Amino acid sequence: MFNAITHSQIYVLDQDEALDFYVGKLGLEVNADVDLGFMRWLTVSVPGHPERQILLEKPGPPALSEEIAQQVRELVTKGAMGGHLIFSTEDCRKTYETLRDLGVEFTEEPTERPYGIDCGLRDPFGNSIRFTQPKA
């Protein structure tokens, strides 16, 4: 049957602001930025790993009615949409310091866990992001 997950999706309220955050601060790279007329198809990925892309989707027509899109935007703003991204890193504390120095606001500092060291933040739209330095 399936052999890979190629795309995951999260909602963002402003795709240009999302580019600034995900590419300018987190260091991801753009895979596609295409105006389809009815929507902008904007994907990013970890550099060198285009096989797993994140669609940064603005809620709206044609997928959602304007009424539902407004409700989704309100939920995104509250961090209640359940959008989650989890990245791995070789050095959680160093990555944390680098991103903190770039102005990224964290919800949790690096913490020792049974599985490694991880920390948490939210993107400008309320989506939850974690990155982990797995135990060897």
We report the CATH number of the domain holding residue 93 as 3.10.180.10
Does residue 2 lie in a domain region? no
Instruction: Give the confidence band of 81 by pLDDT, cuts at 50, 70, 90.
Output: confident
* Counted domains in the chain: 1
DSSP the chain: ------EEEEE-S-HHHHHIIIIIIT--EEEEEEE-SSSEEEEEESTT-TTSEEEEEPP-TTTS-HHHHHHHHHHHHTT-S--EEEEE-S-HHHHHHHHHHTTPPEEEEEEEETTEEEEEEE-TTS-EEEEEEE--
Q: What percentage of the chain reaches a pLDDT higher than 90?
A: 86
pLDDT at 127 over 80: yes
pLDDT at 82 over 90: no
Domain that holds residue 107: 7-134
Does residue 110 lie in a domain region? yes
pTM for this predicted structure: 0.93
